[in-house]
Amino acid sequence: MKSTNPTIDPPRFLDGLRVHHRDDEEQLCSRRVRSDVWCGRLDVAPLERRPALSRSIARSDLETGAVQVLWTSSLAGAWARHEHDIARASGWLRDAGLAHDLGTTDAELMACCGAHFHHDANRYGGKAFCNLFLSEDQGQDVYFPATGQRIALQPGTIMVFDTGNPHGVVARGTSRFEPRDFPVEERCVQIFASWELPIRVFQSDFDKVDPADVHGVPGAWLDDAPMRVCPTTGRFLRPDEPQDST
Domains of the chain: 43-202 (2.60.120.10), 213-237 (no CATH)
pTM: 0.89
Name residue 109's amino acid: L
CA distances from 71 to 36, 110, 191 (A): 29, 7, 10
What pLDDT score was predicted for residue 233? 97
- State phi, psi for 226 to the nearest 5 degrees: -55, 145
Name residue 125's amino acid: G
Q: Kindly report, residue by residue over 228-237, the tens digit of the pLDDT.
A: 999 999 999 9
Q: Rounded mean pLDDT of the chain?
A: 84
| End-to-end CA separation in angstroms for the chain | 39
Does the CA dihedral 111-115-120-122 come out positive or negative?
negative
What pLDDT score was predicted for residue 6? 44
Mean pLDDT of 205-221: 66
Find the farthest-apart pair of alpha carbons in the chain and give their distance in angstroms, rounded. Answer: 52
DSSP label of 122: H
Give yes or no for a contact between 62 and 112, defined as CB atoms under 8 angstroms apart.
yes
The total number of residues shown for the chain amounts to: 246
pLDDT at 130 over 60: yes
- State phi, psi for 4 to the nearest 5 degrees: -95, -10
Give yes or no for a contact between 84 and 132, defined as CB atoms under 8 angstroms apart.
no
The partner residues of 29 in beta bridges, in order of sequence, read 21, 208
CA distance 227 to 39: 26
Mean pLDDT of 92-115: 88
Q: Kindly report, residue by residue over 47-73, the tens digit of the pLDDT.
A: 765 666 777 777 677 889 999 988 765
Of 58-67, 113-122, 158-167, 223-232, the least confident:
58-67
CA distances from 53 to 20, 62, 77, 139 (A): 36, 14, 8, 22
CA distances from 119 to 17, 61, 184, 187, 220 (A): 12, 23, 24, 24, 8
